[in-house]
Amino acid sequence: MIKKPKVNKVTLQVIADAWGVSKVAVHKWVKMGCPTTSIEDATKWRDEYLQASGKAAPATLNEARLEKTLLESERIRVRLQQDRGELVEIAVVREAGIRIGAIFSAKLAALVNDASGALAGLDEASLRKKLHERTQTILAEIRTELEKV
């Protein structure tokens, strides 16, 4: 039986202390592939991981705490906006967009279909006036639907 060479490992707590994060955070990274052979290997992996995800590792514990505080305050700001009704669920916006698009398409199709009969025999000034009135009516209906969102 061939024995594997023993690899020196550092504990999750040692890595957590070195990075200024919790042991739980390090444990999650280890599950994702972070090595525990040395602080240097783990730090190299973390930096590559963060770079690939477009993030940067905080240089100090205070920077990490500041980042955490800023994220928490952003979360609170978003929660307040939700409570005030300033944010709308994406499903509601999507449904309203589909409804408004359907109304707009139907109104434009109707304009095209009855334009020749309704606008026949008009001079250019009257034609422009009628088209302007019709488009204003369509836009008013769209505005009404948008206000419902």
Please state the domain extents for the chain: 1-62, 90-147
Question: What is residue 58's predicted lDDT score, i.e. its pLDDT?
Answer: 65
Distance CA 38, CA 15 (A): 9
Ranges of residues in the chain with a pLDDT under 70 are: 1-8, 57-60, 149
Tell me whether residue 133 is exposed, middle or buried, using C-beta atoms within 10 angstroms of its C-beta: 0 to 12, 13 to 18, 19 or more. exposed
Q: Name residues whose C-beta falls within 8 Å of residue 66's C-beta, 6 or more positions apart in sequence.
A: 58
Q: What is the pLDDT of residues 133-146, one digit of tens each?
A: 888 988 888 888 87
Q: What's this model's pTM, rounded to 2 decimal places?
A: 0.39
Question: What is residue 105's predicted lDDT score, i.e. its pLDDT?
Answer: 87
SS3 annotation, the chain: CCCCCCCCCCCHHHHHHHHCCCHHHHHHHHHCCCCCCCHHHHHHHHHHHHHHCCCCCCCCHHHHHHHHHHHHHHHHHHHHHHHCCCCCCHHHHHHHHHHHHHHHHHHHHHHHHHHHHHHCCCCHHHHHHHHHHHHHHHHHHHHHHHHCC
